[in-house]
Structure 1
Amino acid sequence: MSVRNLEHLFRPRSVAVIGATDRPGSIGSLVMHNLLSAGFEGPVWPVNPKHPTVAGLQAWPDVDTLPEVPELAVICTPAVTVPGLVQALGRRGTRAAVVLTAGLKARERPDGPTLEQRMLEAARPYLLRVLGPNCLGLLVPGVRLNASFAHTHALPGRLAFVSQSGALATALLDWANSRGIGFSHFVSLGDSADVDVGDVLDWLASDPATRAILLYLESVQSARKFMSAARAAARNKPVLVVKSGRAPEGARAAASHTGALAASDLVVDAAIRRAGMLRVLTLQELFDAAETLARARPLAGERLAVLTNGGGAGVLAADALALAGGRLAPLAPETLAALDRALPATWSRGNPVDIIGDAPVARYTAALEALLAADEVDAVLLMHAPTAVVPSAEIARACLPLVQQARKPVLTCWLGGDVVEPARQLCAAAGVPTYDTPERAVTAFLQLVEYRRNQDSLLQTPPALPEAPRRDVARAADAASADGAAAATARYTAAADRPAARAMLQRVQAEGREMLSELEAKAVLEAYGIPTVPTRLARDPDEAARCAQALGFPAVLKILSPDISHKSDVGGVVLGLQDAAQVREAARAMSERIARVRPGARLAGFTVQPQVRRPMARELIVGVSQDPVFGPVILFGQGGTAVELLADRAIALPPLNMALARELVSRTQVAKLLGAWRDHPAVDAQALHAVLVRVSHLVCDLDELAELDINPLLADEAGVIALDARMRVRAGQPPAASRLAIRPYPKELESLHPVDGQQVLVRPIRPEDESRLRDFYASARPEDVRLRFFGPRREWAHSELARYSQIDYDREMCLVALPVEAEGHPSPQAPLLGEVRALCDPDNREAEFAIQVRSDWQQRGLGRLLLALLADHLRRRGTERLVGMCLRENVGMARLARSLGFEVRDAGGGVMALRLELGAGGHLPSGSAAQELPSSLF
């Protein structure tokens, strides 16, 4: 991930056009025309060896003869010339190029590299960044740059548009111009050989001229890079996505239900949601959403009130909301009373609030005031159909002051054409979202809802997954009843036995198998604390009868075959066997049936288990599949034999915590059945969510895992239990940990250290540490807070604390210290003793850090330890330098920094700049003998 040298691409001071020409209709001619007619203020140098002038400007025969080094080069020459030109530009000092040329996937000889590979090899030594090849180019209206062959210029604005399709980009540019929509950046990525969507997202995230980022995606090449950039950008501003390829390509052959259900478009949805972005379905919705999110107040809830002067329009809005799963606000008695006082007796007395077609201005403002004051209303949709009673513009002028002062979002809908256009213009000028139909207005509101949910996933504070030592879990399980209900409740808190699970998968791989047996799959689940029904292996019918006798009746009998994945499809499952004779006969009949319907299948025996009596349980499925781009994904939904037919499922990217697991469950239809209804008590939600988190841990830990199905997973008020499981391992060597689109919690950074006679655990911060972090800051001395934050602080908002505790481990790190008790681990109430955090730039060249130690733990060596561990971590990940700032008065900090090898210099403004090179000579000594860090660096 890199923004290195992108300033030369997006803010160049000079441009060279290589392949510039006056030939009508050629790319070189169009680029020259666009650059000059856009009014680019820097020099434009055409390069053409055959003509002395191009577009009235002196032309230069080659790169080496240019009068100065061009900051940006636009290449329009044949594909075969591009690698040599890039090398010449890099040698001359150019650091960015736009390659419009197509055809670089070709090879000059069959066994040689592609032209694109040669181009990248030529650019690499010079860190020359390449946009394209095969792209439309880019437009930056703010600097009057049109380095493209688009047919028109872009209007200036605050929306950035990034597209993987050049043809669509030109059509959209024309469409946007016709509607007066402007852009800060308009970028065509083309083949993304170097500069890709992640790089551009990183650049735009910190660009002050960009209010929102709009993406048109066709594919994602590097999932982890994309996710890190998208999450960082979405924390700063709205990021909206149109993704093509929504239609399923057809179910692929898979060894599990999950493999068939986890269609790639669902995975893209999950990735967009997890990153805090918003996905829309059409280009029209893309711009509607951009205006809505940029203009509307933040949404606190999901209940909408509709205010209208026409019953029909109100019904249309209510229908659109209901059909899309939205919620009308139920009006409280106090709100109804306030509306009764303001409206005629014939008003609708409900939501939508129909104030009747003859409504004057005062009726609009009174009703709007009542709804804005109502606690049960989270947003208001103000609709108006033109009448002869009062002009629409007068209503808009009267309502706009209320809308602008409101603490909740208000959307407006002016139905009609020219008559209501003045009202629309007034709203637009005031920054109030406005739409021309009820359906578009409702869609915009639902986009606000979805965006809020996605942003909440970036700001949620999950509870920690409860863990108990394995000896306590085993004792609880031994005391549980035979049907597994109590065992399920007792065992969902079990700590993972990773070595045992990995050994099982590796043994299966060593034997040349892909599928685990049911017993092996359940053993892996048990190693991760996921409760399963007791299961035994029987080699023949007589042994099956003996196993059933030992386990108890009624019994369940299943075939055990490496060649049959879905056992029920071939009659390989029999339930409700009441005695040993029935088990024996069922096993014999099953053997004969398999030999008849699947003559080539190997039969390794049978599995026997007691039939679990859970009459109120819901059948669910939890699974894992591999997406070719985003890696492992977790699936949850309604289970049973008809799971693929029902297709009620939701997808999430690991890693999960309890809050994300709860959100995953909520996105399914079966979630409605998990609460109490009729005689069914509610499911133990914590046990269910814990299983999802356990599966997430399993996915993150075990590279060998390819697919997993737990189906059915029974869930009721007593807990959860897996009745059946199938698991497939990867063939060959497992991929690196980067297979995960989001880097999981780096447990390998946990370490125990003695500090001044006390055992301390140092580990990366977790999302569930938010409350600890709040207490840590609140208990600090005012002087420590001032030195840390360069000013007094009394409160820390949830959004700020969530950002500090929910970090992207792939590009930032925060290590925290907690006291360790006699049992060898911190208690759930253990406070933070100190923290050190660093944020790396996207190029991993520089990390900016801050450190703070609890007031009563200063001067004990903890700060030195934290800083040393952080520096070692950054050095291992290849970060080049560590930098920070401290107040000039913080002489102790400056003195300590010098003793640790930092360069300390006066940066002006009462601030000292601290810098440590993390090469061979930049090692921080550890130990507690040296002076303690008394304050903060940042």
Structure 2
Amino acid sequence: MTTTLKQRRRANLRRVLKPRHITFVGGGHLERVIGLCRDNGFEGRMSVINPRHDEIAGVPCVPSADALDDAPDAAFVAMSNQRTLEAVTALSERGAGGVVCHATGFGELGGEGLKAQNTLAEAAGDMALIGPNCMGLINAFDNAAMWGEYTPSEPIDENGVALISQSGAFLYGVLGGERAFPLGYAVSVGNQAVIDTADVLDAVLEDPRVRSVGIYAEGLADGAALSEALAKAMAQNIPVVLLRGGGTTASAERSLSHTGNLAVPNDFWDALIRRFCLIQVHSPKQLVETTKLLAVCCVPRGNRVVVATYSGAAGTLLADQAPERGLALPPIPENAVRELTPALEDYVTISNPFDINLPWRTDRKVSLDDPESIAWCIETASRGIADSFVFMLDIPRRSTGGDLPWLPTIDALLLLKDWIDMPVIASPLIPEGLEPHLRQKLLDGGVAPLTGFTECLDALGAAVAYGATRKAITEPGSPIHPITAPRGNRALDEHEGKTLMAAHGLPVAGSWAGPVDQAAEAAEAIGFPVVLKVLSTTLLHKSKVGGVCLNLTGRDAVDEAIAAMRRHLEHHAPGHGLERVLVEPMTQDPVAEVIIGLKRHPELGLALVIGLGGVDVEEARQYGLVLLPASDREVSAVVEGLGLDLTVNATANLLDAIRAVERFALAHADTVQELDINPVLLSRDDSVVAVDALVVLGETEESP
């Protein structure tokens, strides 16, 4: 069985992520890069390619790739554009596994920069090339670092986070600023000339030490490959947290200049999130805290939370804001209250949130200096009613000595972690309320050290929502297979379009199409009231030019409508004329109007558009996208999101109409350019009928 170039590059990416031999290519800047790799504890072999130096950072230099004793698993190249190309060519010929290209000035510039990037990708051959325009990668599990600056990471053995980012600065900030964060992999993919986010995601999912993945994405290099990797994550129950940019016009332009990647509109992102059960966050800190919680504690079984504090104010804020994140605070059961009451001071109110307010020492069972008694108190209060436990406490800095009374609570949480089978979380009210050494101690003991009131609630709310959504999904989302967009376009008139759609099961009104001078007779045969429309392959939005007349109640009304339509067309579309018309029965008093259509993205393919329809559709802009082929779960979620008050039968009929449009779209995926069924009317008798259709077809690349 032959392997494709992509398969060979992905195989080499495994060598890059877990290298035994790293070579560094460049000059004096490599001092810090090599120093980081050494200080992070890399135990493999390091070499340097530089023809002008004998050694850099204590590592002997060789003049060229040919002079290396063996082919390196990975290389870090930090040179100018042209020299980067020369180095990549030489490393590929030497049989290196892959290369990190740190240099900028490639595809993000467009034009000549993009040409240079394409040449670079070609020169890489079978190598897994990461970048260019990237910071590099760190594997803290195996102590390997090929990173453009000296930003040490903490070693980790298991239960780690893999962060994949188009932005090197984002990962640089995490490495430089975060402490007690279980970072296993940090991979800056940059311009994604060869290796992209999908490739890295697929690779890190093969490492059982990875428990959650965080992605910062501005655009897509390969939508089909990303969908396959996300489906793999779902199948393995590895949650993926997404922070996205480039969804608006302004941010898309910024994204293109940043990494040169094609941006993804917000509605397509939403469809991708819905299909693959991604956890969407809205800030870098949310990404860090949510991935941390999921890696340390896994996914909570439900939304019930017991919270303990040493602060009445914290309890009040929690009671107000936890429900906003979908978190429930169940009351402590009476039997637990009876067990706890004699063990606590009389002034302690036993409730959830639980302001324990302990004395340092007491003749009662529970005191601030006794970790085991604190853990017993919490376990008793949480027994049988909680899916997660959170302790919110701020501890003074150790340099003041004020931390000593509170340290037993840290030990209590570590004990508690071994006593109860649920996530145990510690968080200060203020982000800096727990010093790094305390957070690290908690992390080492399996307690998630989150960093702030809002950050804690947001992360826990996101994890709980993910758990509920994922539990309801029986099958992982199906991968996407984009089809090349057709060339040219050929609009069908409404009658042709409806006939084509009806062949795939879309319910349409019985209608007549023919010469305008026969319209009144046809209307009488159909039965009044009727609708009259101009038939045209050039006037695609008929109502805007007076090409639609509603609720005509007799032959005279039809004749008058034809005369008015002629005048409107002469004014709005001179020379068009009125030769053929469509006559169909008027649907009276619909209870809802819906639009069903299609959109296409170069990397994500076709998507159904389902939204509120009618003449105000552009103003309302209330719709959702579902990637094709669609699951029942995805379609139902979008329909429910429209807020229509429909009966069960009407909902079922609407879903059938949507599926009919999907069947048409899949059957004509390589030729359909544009499709809008607007409106689809839902009547009081639960029936559904499409009363207008805009269908534009093109030709495939193979068409003559």
Output the TM-score relative to the length of structure 1. 0.61
Q: Give yes or no for contact 1:658–1:693 (8 Å, CA) kept in 2.
A: no
Letter in 2 for 1:51: H
Q: 1:436 Cα shift?
A: 5.4
The code of the aligned residue for 2:130 comes to: L
8 Å CA contact retained: 1:106, 1:114: no
Which is further off, 359-368 or 56-65?
359-368
Q: Per-residue displacement from partner, 1:116-135 (whole Å, max 9, x unpaired)?
A: 333333332xx222222232
**Where does 1:294-313 land on structure 2 (aligned, <5 Å)?**
294-296=295-297, 298-301=299-302, 313=314
1-structure distance, mates of 2:307, 2:108: 58
Partner of 1:373: 384
Residue of 13, 16, 23 corresponding to 1:6: 13
Residues 413 and 624 from structure 1, CA distance in 2 versus in 1: closer, same or farther, beyond 3 angstroms?
same
Match of 2:24?
A: 17
Displacement of 1:719 in angstroms is 4.1
Structure 1 residue 635, shift from structure 2 partner? 1.9
Give the structure 2 partner of residue 527 of structure 1.
503
Equivalence for 1:128: 127
Secondary structure of the residue aligned to 2:141 is: helix
Does 1:729 find its partner at 2:700?
A: no
The CA deviation string for residues 287-313 of structure 1, in whole angstroms up to 9 with x for no partner, is 111122223454445566777787764
Give secondary structure in 2 for the equivalent of 1:4. Answer: helix
In structure 1, the residue corresponding to 2:272 is in which secondary structure? helix
Q: How does 1:227-246 map to 2 (within 5 A)?
A: 227-236=227-236, 237-246=238-247
User: Paired residue for 1:899?
Assistant: none
Q: Secondary structure at the match of 2:491?
A: coil
Tell me how far apart the structure 1 counterparts of residues 46 and 417 of structure 2 sit (CA, whole Å): 48
SS at match of 1:114: helix
Q: 3-state DSSP class of the match of 1:146?
A: strand
Q: 1:833 maps to what in 2? A: none
In 2: Cα distance, 1:548 partner to 1:168 partner: 65
Equivalent position of 2:49 in the other structure: 47
Between 223-232 and 551-560, the greater mean CA deviation after superposition? 551-560
Matched, 1:198 2:201: no
Identity %: 27
CA distance in 1 between partners of 2:39 and 2:432 (Å): 35
Alignment pair present for 1:448 and 2:445:
no
- 1:733 is displaced (CA, Å) by 2.1
Contact 1:683–1:717 (8 Å) recurs in 2:
no
Query: Secondary structure in 2 aligned to 1:514?
Result: strand
1:678-717 counterparts in 2 under 5 A?
A: 681-702=647-668, 703-715=670-682
Please tell me whether the aligned partners of residues 216 and 242 of structure 1 are also in contact (alpha carbons under 8 angstroms).
yes
- The code of the aligned residue for 2:466 comes to Y
> Which stretch shifts more, 522-531 or 75-84?
75-84
What does the per-residue CA deviation read over 1:118-176, in whole Å, with 9 as the maximum and x for residues that have no partner? Answer: 3333332xx22222223222222333322222232222232222221223332232122
1:828-849 Cα distance to aligned partner (Å, 9 max, x none): xxxxxxxxxxxxxxxxxxxxxx
- One-letter code aligned to 1:199: D
Cα drift, residue 238 of structure 1: 2.2
User: Secondary structure at 1:533's aligned position in 2?
Assistant: coil
Counterparts of residues 43-82 of structure 1 (less than 5 Å): 43-82=45-84
C-alpha distance 106-691 of structure 1, shift in aligned 2 (>3 A):
closer
CA distance in 1, matches of 2:107, 2:203: 27
Cα distance change on mapping 1:202 and 1:141 into 2, 3 Å = same
Whole-angstrom CA distance in 2 between matches of 1:398 and 1:103 = 53
Is this contact kept in 1: 2:23–2:48, CA < 8 A? Answer: yes
Contact 2:532/2:558 (8 A) holds in 1: yes
Aligned with 2:625 (options 651, 656, 659): 651
Q: Deviations over 1:426-482 (max 9, x none)?
A: 8655534454554333322331244235534752499xxxxxxxxxxxxxxxxxxxx
The equivalent residue for 1:207 is 207
Q: CA RMSD in A?
A: 4.3
1:278 matched residue in structure 2: 279
Aligned to 1:99: 101
C-alpha displacement of 1:547? 2.1
Q: Which amino acid aligns with 1:279?
A: Q
**Judging changes above 3 Å, is the alpha-carbon distance between structure 1 residues 46 and 445 closer, same or farther for their aligned structure 2 residues?**
closer
2:613 corresponds in structure 1 to 639
* In 2: Cα distance, 1:435 partner to 1:216 partner: 20
Specify the alignment match of 1:290 in structure 2: 291
Residue equivalent to 1:31: 33
In the alignment, residue 151 of structure 1 is paired with which amino acid? Y
Q: Judging changes above 3 Å, is the alpha-carbon distance between structure 1 residues 554 and 329 closer, same or farther for their aligned structure 2 residues?
A: farther
Deviations 1:325-346 (A, max 9, x none): x364787xxx776688689999
1:205-258 deviation per Cα after TM superposition (whole angstroms, max 9, x unaligned): 011332222221121111101110122134332222211124355999xxxxxx
Q: Secondary structure at the match of 2:104?
A: coil
| 1:630 aligned partner | 604
Higher relative contact order (CA 8 A, sep 6+): 2
User: Residue 656 of structure 1 aligns to a residue in which SS?
Assistant: coil
Cα distance in 2 for residues equivalent to 1:89 and 1:436: 44
Change (3 A) 1:705 1:544: same
Normalised to the residue count of structure 2, the TM-score between the two structures is 0.79
Encode CA deviations 1:736-773: one digit per residue, 9 max, x unaligned. 9xxxxxxxxxxxxxxxxxxxxxxxxxxxxxxxxxxxxx
Distance verdict in 2 for CA 1:628–1:346, change over 3 Å: farther
Counterpart amino acid of 1:90?
Answer: S
* C-alpha distance in 2 between matches for 1:436 and 1:596: 65
Letter in 2 for 1:723: A
Shift of 1:655: 0.9
- C-alpha distance after superposition, 1:385-433 (max 9, x if no partner): 99x9x97666776677667655665656553689877997886555344
Instruction: Report what 1:775 is aligned to.
Output: none
Q: 8 Å contact 2:130–2:195 — kept in the other structure?
A: yes
CA contact under 8 A between 1:275 and 1:458: conserved in structure 2?
no
Structure 2: how far apart are the matches of 1:313 and 1:523? Answer: 64
After superposition, where does 1:125-164 map in structure 2 within 5 Å?
127-157=126-156, 158-164=160-166
Partner of 1:524, secondary structure, is helix
> Judging changes above 3 Å, is the alpha-carbon distance between structure 1 residues 329 and 50 closer, same or farther for their aligned structure 2 residues?
closer
Give me the whole-angstrom Cα distance separating, in 1, the residues matched to 2:301 and 2:267: 27
The count of residues paired between Structure 1 and Structure 2 equals: 651
| 2:256 match | none
Map of 2:429 onto structure 1: 415
Q: How far, CA to CA, are the matches of 1:591 and 1:627 in structure 2?
A: 39
Unaligned runs of 5+ in 2: 1-5, 254-262, 360-365, 367-372, 396-401, 478-484
**Kept in 2: contact 1:241–1:279 (CA 8 A):** yes
Does the 8 A contact of 1:622 with 1:635 survive in 2?
yes
Aligned to 1:269: 270
Contact 2:245 2:251 (C-alpha < 8 Å) held by counterparts: no
Please state how far the C-alpha of 1:286 moved relative to its aligned partner. Answer: 0.6
Deviation string, structure 1 residues 788-807 (Cα, Å, up to 9, x no partner): xxxxxxxxxxxxxxxxxxxx
- How far residue 647 of structure 1 moved from its aligned partner, in angstroms, is 2.1
**Cα-to-partner distance string for 1:64-89 (whole Å, 9 max, x where unaligned):** 22233333232233322444433433
Query: Gaps spanning 5+ residues in structure 1: where?
Result: 253-261, 463-505, 676-680, 737-938
Q: How far is 1:573 from its partner?
A: 3.1
Deviations 1:797-827 (A, max 9, x none): xxxxxxxxxxxxxxxxxxxxxxxxxxxxxxx
Once the two structures are superposed, the pairs formed by residues 473-552 of structure 1 within 5 Å of their partners are: 514-540=490-516, 542-552=517-527
- 1:88-113 CA-to-partner distances (Å, cap 9, x unmatched) read 33333323222223345599x98x99
Q: Partners of 2:177 and 2:651 in 1: how far apart? A: 48
After superposition, the Cα gap between the structure-2 partners of 1:368 and 1:57, relative to the gap in structure 1 and judged at 3 Å, is closer
Q: What SS does structure 1 have at the residue aligned with 2:490? A: coil
In structure 2, the CA distance between the partners of 1:142 and 1:396, relative to structure 1 (3 Å rule), is closer
